[in-house]
Amino acid sequence: MTFSSESFAPAMQNFAQVSQALMQGLTDILESQPQAAGISGPSLGLPDPICYVEWQNGFLEKHLQLWHSMLERKPDEPLLPVIDIDPADRRFASPEWRSSPVFDYIRYAYLLNSQCIRDLVELFPASDERTKDRARFLARQFIDALSPANFAATNPEFIRRALDTQGQCITDGITNLIGDFGKGRVSITDESAFEIGRNLAVTPGTVIFENELIQLIQYAPTTPEAAQRPLLIVPPCINKFYVLDLQPENSFVRYAVEQGNTVFLVSWRNPGDPLGHLTWHDYLEDGPIAAIDVVRDICQVDQVNVLGWCVGGTILTSALSVLAARGENKVASLTLLTTLLDYSEAGELGLFIDEQSIAEREAAMAHGGIMKGSELSGVFSMLRANDLVWNYVASNYLKGSKPKAFDLLYWNSDSTNLPGPFACWYLRNLYLENGLRVPGKLEMCGVKIDLGRVQVPNYILAAREDHIVPWKASYLGTQLLGGASRFVLGASGHIAGVINPASKNKRSFWLNAASSDNADDWLLGAEEHQGSWWDDWSRWLKQFGDGDRAAPSEPGNARFKPIEPAPGRYVKECA
């Protein structure tokens, strides 16, 4: 193939029109998005003309550099990089992208175009940061979808594989695509490799209580003695509890039991249409409030230790606020893992929520109905589209490969529904109006709540790279709760930052005993510790165990008798 500067001339003649069309297209997309509640006037303006011309000229200059690099390229030499390639970007890691001048050019041109689009978005003046974040998010979706790795004609790995397999990968890819059409989603793991209760959620235990919303599991002790006060775990209801009990080597539940705790866990039901009427208040009363009373009865204690993760932590803390308003002091300590209490910095999930979208959802299901698990799963996948969507589009459909078995991705695919009234109340009152942080603003279960009345010691874990619960937003919880806070910042993201087994001694976490009104100030004085936060949490929890006693020999008691072995049937219900 021969390249010359003349072959690039037509593209250069149309460059101004193309870049102007790109700017206009982005303007149309961004201005079509609903404005955030309470913001008047236009949310977006037009870029400064001088900055736009500078952007346009810079875009053109770098493409010319790339083109000349291709013309001057010698055999077996890579192109001169006009933009850095992230070594962690697996899309272009294969040597086929570098060995061909055509595909080497395609990947660099794509990365250059991607950066230029991101730079263009930054030129748009926005009336608020949320609008700018929405623009960045939409641009990222556009960029990720148009990667040359996603298309047969521009993916050299597909072409090589098609030749090597004499077209068999094309047949396999079509078969995979048809299979996923039947599922209604992209397969991201070998689902046949896992079964709940066989090789997932296998920590021994017994269901000792159930109502229409939860099953309560009591786990079998592994130590001769256990703390007087039991530990109740409340996982999120937007996905299933066994992320805390995947397999023995990475099970947080098993670890907590081995540390000498009598552990109970709430297993939320996967609601169908008959439960589509349930509200936020039902989730508090029939979830943690009911579970706390059962645990106190079984263990014959006045107070329990409680732990909540993500929205499970929000539900749990709300329930404790209700108990505080009722004058009931049933909890000795509170642990929150990657939990939002102040939604002023709600992360990328907040970009999906505005007055118009919530009003439409309320009109459809505020009085009954189901928010489908597939919808929730799709939203979470969009937050990491390259890893959870396009990576598998290329692998499954172009290369004809089957995804490998991975327990965490199996859990990620096991979606859950939410009752419409519950979801609408949660989205409006917490995400949109941020009412939980305001004392007395929200009424739950018939009482006005105030987080400041939750006056128990609390351990708050955030994850430094969390895109769902930004760590600085999690830190705001220390300013709202009434008890003494121990804030811990773990490495990695929303899941890996929590599921970090102590036995593997991976990653690190940051501690600072001094409190601060500002998250950045807290971090400046924090000290990094190698390994998992699990052991630090276990040491902290022991001081609220009220001493030890003989571990229970049987689950439940005369009032709450065994119903079935863990993990129970609720967690096995499909969306």
What residue ranges in 99-211 does DSSP mark as E strands?
A: 205-210
Read off the tokens for 427.
Answer: 């989205």
Quickly tell me which residue has 């001081």 as its tokens: 543
User: Does 310 qualify as catalytic in the annotation?
Assistant: yes
Q: Are 215 and 237 in contact (CB under 8 A)?
A: no
What residue ranges in 148-238 does DSSP mark as E strands? 205-210, 214-219, 225-227, 231-234
Amino acid letter at 390? W
Strands of 445-553, DSSP E: 447-448, 458-463, 485-490, 508-511, 527-530, 548-550
Give the phi and the psi of residue 399 in degrees, each rounded to 5: -90, -10
d(CA 429, CA 132): 23
Q: Given 116, 169, 237, 310, which residue is catalytic?
A: 310
Residues contacting residue 323 through CB under 8 Å, at least 6 positions apart: 289, 292, 329, 330, 331
Closest of 418, 233, 239, 206 to residue 316, by C-alpha: 233
Closest listed residue to residue 141, CA positions, set 345, 469, 493, 386: 386
| C-alpha span between 215 and 211 (Å, rounded) | 7
Considering only CA atoms, which of 430, 521, 429 is closest in space to residue 472? 521
Task: Report whether 304 contacts 232 (CB < 8 A).
Answer: yes
- Give the Cβ contact number of residue 382 at 10 Å: 17
Q: Which residues are catalytic?
A: 310
